[in-house]
């Protein structure tokens, strides 16, 4: 008797819910043009709006600030606060001619003194940008800045584009709370852990942005997806596994990146010595060029993209793919198991005991691959690599680990590595023998004197074009190079697409190729975003 | 004299508890496999060795563990809780900011779960054996076995995503300037996390009240009262309430610990910016000063909950006072 009553109540409840459910969804796609946006980009702002806390390191500079130079969507370097610049013949003196119409969001003009203050502050802090080569800064007249370097450094462009110009009169410990800058937007409110409200900066020197107000909500990926379905947000950053979620009125915004994943292969033989931190270097198997080349050609990158990234990615051949300093000749036809096998056989790797794993000089073609087990993409990539390597007659033993342990073994075992920047500095760090063993630079102890020579020429170049020429030669000069057709110090495999879901009327402008990791890449040109009445 | 002695003992116990807890937390964190620098920079390959060493020095990580701990202890005794590494702000400022938000959530949840639980428990005891009793008991068992985060997610899916009645999270309306946020807005955003946290706390109180009330109702003095012609309501009011309230109050104060734990989970689900979500972040990123600060504050919170329970017990129960 009673049970019947509950059943009736339950049915009524479910029915009411369904009714309301239907009502909610109706109006999602019939929206009017709006001049404000709600965006979800992870749980907190990267670097809390303060360059001392890493704000600007990953393409966020041009939201609230301006810099001396900036990059275009095609990665060309153009003037920002500096309208033009010259580099002296010896590469040690950089002169900048400044604009005089830049203003901070509080109305005060941006001056050469502010730039000087910014660079000196960042150099002193020294934790986010390497400015150790910056000797002194002169201001011969109010619209001219001269940087004196202790040695030529063509990669200085990276810092010049990334470091946001700070107001020297208003910079202090609490800058995060009120980050006055000279960009298209200003921060009007920041409820920590919840939201940040950006409004247009009426003193901005350029064109006023289309969206008058942008609210950034700080939610995790699951909450963000719920918020998108609930209709409270217009644009979210999300994970590849959510890319195919269907939300009425929303579409997928997927952007190519040079955010690469690959396998680092120690280049020296075991017993090479120990790193400055005291960790052993060298691996007899991975140091064999045949093993590296066979993996590079034999592994199927497309299969990894399909399985690990749900199809949302691109093949990677280097850490500088698609960059102006990338040597386009260095790609390979991958997934070629026969060719990989013949490379191994020619080098003496033959499966004599018929256990499926090749041997040479009594050693099995077997090595360990460490991956951070908390990182799903890297872990899945490692699993696919090991699976595919079996077909080539190689045994890759997977070790789930963490960065602290990996730091100790990364010179003697393979690790699932990552990278990707809008500047060639990282290419230099990862292949220069002088940097080997320091932090995550050149963890494989790669050492090719020809490559090192080209890289030094690139660093000493006084203009980006000349530098790019040498960066390309360092990858392949026709005979040798630090690339997939050269020495293969790393087998780069996949580039992740950065996945977002957003209202189909949003036009995010021309996006530069995205860089390693960080969700805010898509916001780099927030000032150029618009609303289109006809859905794209 | 007795009371002073009692308070002194409690205070000593509190201090040793905090000391022990801080040593335990420090040891666990120090030995955790998370490197604070790596957690801070996120496995990034671009940081140079010099930069890394500068950070180590800046954060005082190059000193031996006991020096680090004593340094922290020395500061805390002077009232300085240290500097958070991930937020780059004084720990006291962060805790101050977040603790208020958490109190705003936990306070009402605590009162609500106590009142509702007590009411349901009394109702179940009075209607013992009837369908109301069965339903309430069944409901209590269900609540007790449902994990907080799951309940939170369900409420979120039903009321925010499907019905769109309530916001998906955070404690203020989206894109509205702080000056314009009304009390009603705040309450509106508080409904779901508050409901989650309250519902979880109800079961415990319900079952204890029910048990105690049943005990009272089956006592001889209640039988006597019945024979005198008192109605059920009068019996509950005159004999039941005071007798069964006591253990419930103690229990409700002791519940502070669970309340805090529940709040951590509810805050995660509803992106509510309280102490709980800050604690999780501090733990995952190995932010020692912040984590230690929050652990201490929450220990003080739970400890004082229990202490209040004891004190109120003594005040309300004259028998305990004499002992």
Closest CB from B51, B160, B268 relative to A230: B160
Q: How many CB atoms lie within 10 A of CB A330?
A: 19
A69-78, A448-457, B216-225: range with lowest mean pLDDT: B216-225
Chain A residue with minimum CA distance to B57: A127
**Burial class of residue B91 in the structure, from the number of CB atoms within 10 Å of its CB (0-12 exposed, 13-18 middle, 19+ buried):** buried
In A, which residues are within 8 Å of B270 by CB distance? 223
State whether residue B168 sits within 8 Å of chain A by CB: yes
Q: Read off the pLDDT of residues A171-226 as tens digits, 9 standing for 90 and up.
A: 988 899 899 999 999 999 998 888 999 999 999 999 999 999 999 998 888 888 98
Question: For residues A255 and A522, what is the distance between their CA atoms, to the nearest angstrom?
Answer: 8
What average pLDDT does this structure show over A107-126?
Answer: 93
**Strands (DSSP E) along A227-282, which ranges?**
235-238, 250-255, 260-264, 273-274, 280-281
User: Contact at 8 Å (CB) between A496 and A345?
Assistant: no
Nearest alpha-carbon partner for B126 in B240, B245, B242, B204 = B240
pLDDT given for residue A7 in this prediction = 52
pLDDT given for residue B45 in this prediction = 47
Mutate one of A194, A431, A437 to test the B interface: name it (highest B CB count within 10 A): A194
* Inter-chain CB proximity A194 and B50 less than 8 Å: no
pLDDT given for residue A230 in this prediction = 86
* Inter-chain CB proximity B44 and A516 less than 8 Å: yes
Go through chain B and tell me how many residues it has: 323
* Inter-chain CB proximity A38 and B175 less than 8 Å: yes
pLDDT grade for A318, boundaries at 50, 70 and 90:
very high
Res A419 pLDDT > 70: yes
Q: Read off the pLDDT of residues B239-267 as tens digits, 9 standing for 90 and up.
A: 888 788 877 888 888 888 888 888 888 88
Res A11 pLDDT > 70: no
pTM: 0.79
* Inter-chain CB proximity A48 and B178 less than 8 Å: no
pLDDT grade for A30, boundaries at 50, 70 and 90:
very low
Name the more confident of B164 and A13.
B164
Q: What structural domains and CATH numbers belong to chain B?
A: 91-322 (1.10.3720.10)
Res B315 pLDDT > 80: no
pLDDT given for residue A19 in this prediction = 44
pLDDT grade for A18, boundaries at 50, 70 and 90:
very low
pLDDT grade for A518, boundaries at 50, 70 and 90:
low
In A, which residues are within 8 Å of B177 by CB distance? 188-189, 197
Closest CB from A215, A402, A419 relative to B33: A402
Residue A40's beta-bridge partner residues?
A217, A236
Closest CB from A38, A54, A429 relative to B174: A38
Closest CB from B42, B89, B277 relative to A193: B277
Average pLDDT, chain A: 89
DSSP, res B90: B
ipTM of the complex: 0.71
Closest CB from B45, B88, B98 relative to A53: B88
- The full DSSP string for A317-349 is SSTTTTSTT--GGG------HHHHHHHHHHTT-
* Inter-chain CB proximity B271 and A194 less than 8 Å: yes
CA B44, B49, B51, B52 dihedral sign is: positive
User: Contact at 8 Å (CB) between A257 and A519?
Assistant: no
Closest CB from B49, B131, B269 relative to A438: B49
* Inter-chain CB proximity A130 and B48 less than 8 Å: yes
* Inter-chain CB proximity B177 and A2 less than 8 Å: no
CA distances from B71 to A283, A315, B224 (A): 43, 51, 66
**Burial class of residue A18 in the structure, from the number of CB atoms within 10 Å of its CB (0-12 exposed, 13-18 middle, 19+ buried):** exposed
Chain A residue with minimum CA distance to B41: A54
* Inter-chain CB proximity A24 and B171 less than 8 Å: no
């Amino acid at each position: 008797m009673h049970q019947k009553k509950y059943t009736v109540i339950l049915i009524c409840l479910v029915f009411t819910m369904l009714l309301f459910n239907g009502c909610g969804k109706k109006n999602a796609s019939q929206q009017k043009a709006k001049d404000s946006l709600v965006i979800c980009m992870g749980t907190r702002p990267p670097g809390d709006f303060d360059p001392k806390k890493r704000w600007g390191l990953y393409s966020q500079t041009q939201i609230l600030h301006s810099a001396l130079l900036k990059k275009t969507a095609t990665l060309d370097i153009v003037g920002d606060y500096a309208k033009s610049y010259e580099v002296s013949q010896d590469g040690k003196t950089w002169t900048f001619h400044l604009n005089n119409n830049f203003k901070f969001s509080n109305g005060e003009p941006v001056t050469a003194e502010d730039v000087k203050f910014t660079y000196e502050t960042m150099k002193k802090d020294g934790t986010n940008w390497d400015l150790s080569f910056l000797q002194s800064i002169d201001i011969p007249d109010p619209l001219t800045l001269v940087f004196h370097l202790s040695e030529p450094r063509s990669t200085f462009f990276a810092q010049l584009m990334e470091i946001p110009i700070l107001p020297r009169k208003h910079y202090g410990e609490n800058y995060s709370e009120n980050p006055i800058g000279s960009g298209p937007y200003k921060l009007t409110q920041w409820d920590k852990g919840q939201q940040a409200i950006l409004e247009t900066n009426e003193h901005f020197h350029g064109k006023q942005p289309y969206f008058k107000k942008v609210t950034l909500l700080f939610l995790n990926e699951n909450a963000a997806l719920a918020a998108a379905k609930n209709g409270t947000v217009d644009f979210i950053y999300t994970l590849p596994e959510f890319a195919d979620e269907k939300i009425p009125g929303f579409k997928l915004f997927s952007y190519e990146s040079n955010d690469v994943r690959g396998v680092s292969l120690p280049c020296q033989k075991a017993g090479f010595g120990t790193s400055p931190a005291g960790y052993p270097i060298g691996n007899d198997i991975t140091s064999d060029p045949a093993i590296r080349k066979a993996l590079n050609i034999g592994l199927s990158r497309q299969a990894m993209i399909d399985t690990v990234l749900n199809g949302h990615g691109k093949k990677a051949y280097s850490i500088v793919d698609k960059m102006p300093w990338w040597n386009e000749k260095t790609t390979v036809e991958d997934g070629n198991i026969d060719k990989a096998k013949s490379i191994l056989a020619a080098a003496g790797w033959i499966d004599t005991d018929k256990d499926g794993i090749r041997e040479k000089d009594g050693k099995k073609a077997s090595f360990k691959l460490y991956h951070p087990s908390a990182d799903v993409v890297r872990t899945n990539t490692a699993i696919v690599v090991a699976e595919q390597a079996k077909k080539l007659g190689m045994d890759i033993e997977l070790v789930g680990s963490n960065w602290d342990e990996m730091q100790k073994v990364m010179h003697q075992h393979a690790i699932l590595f990552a990278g990707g920047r809008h500047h060639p500095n990282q290419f230099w760090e990862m292949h220069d023998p002088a940097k080997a063993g320091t932090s995550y630079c050149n963890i494989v102890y790669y050492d090719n004197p020809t490559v090192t020579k080209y890289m030094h020429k690139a660093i000493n170049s006084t203009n980006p074009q000349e530098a790019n020429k040498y960066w390309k030669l360092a990858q392949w000069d026709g005979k040798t190079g630090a690339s997939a057709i050269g020495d293969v110090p790393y087998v780069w495999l996949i580039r992740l697409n950065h996945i977002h879901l957003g209202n189909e009327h949003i036009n995010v402008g021309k996006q530069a190729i995205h860089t390693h990791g960080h969700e805010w890449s898509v916001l780099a040109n927030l000032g150029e975003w618009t609303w289109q009445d006809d859905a794209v | 004299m007795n009371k002073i002695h009692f308070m002194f003992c409690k205070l000593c116990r509190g201090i040793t508890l905090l000391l022990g807890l801080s040593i335990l937390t420090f040891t666990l964190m120090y030995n955790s496999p998370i490197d604070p620098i790596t957690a801070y920079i996120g496995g990034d390959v671009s940081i140079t060795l010099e930069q890394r060493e500068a950070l180590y020095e800046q954060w005082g990580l190059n000193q031996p563990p006991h020096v680090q701990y004593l340094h922290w202890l020395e500061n805390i005794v002077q009232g300085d809780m240290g500097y958070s590494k991930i937020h780059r702000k004084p720990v006291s400022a962060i805790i101050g900011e977040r603790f208020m938000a958490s109190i705003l959530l936990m306070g009402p949840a605590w009162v609500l779960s106590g009142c509702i639980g007590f009411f349901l428990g009394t109702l179940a005891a009075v209607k013992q054996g009837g369908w109301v009793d069965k339903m309430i008991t069944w409901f209590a068992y269900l609540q007790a076995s449902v994990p907080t985060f799951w309940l939170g997610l369900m409420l979120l899916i039903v009321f925010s995503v499907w019905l769109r009645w309530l916001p998906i999270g955070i404690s203020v309306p989206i894109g509205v300037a702080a000056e314009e946020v009304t009390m009603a807005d705040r309450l509106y955003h508080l409904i779901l996390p508050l409901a989650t946290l309250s519902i979880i706390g109800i079961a415990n109180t319900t079952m204890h009240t029910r048990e105690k009330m049943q005990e009272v109702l089956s006592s001889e003095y209640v039988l006597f009262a019945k024979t005198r012609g008192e109605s059920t309501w009068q019996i509950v009011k005159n004999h039941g309430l005071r007798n069964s309230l006591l253990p419930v109050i103690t229990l409700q104060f002791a519940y502070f610990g669970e309340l805090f734990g529940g709040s951590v989970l509810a805050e995660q689900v509803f992106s509510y910016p309280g102490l709980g979500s800050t604690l999780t972040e501090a733990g995952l990123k190995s932010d020692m000063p912040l984590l230690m600060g929050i652990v201490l504050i929450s220990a003080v919170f739970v400890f004082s909950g229990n202490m209040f329970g004891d004190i109120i017990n003594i005040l309300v129960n004259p028998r305990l006072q004499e002992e």
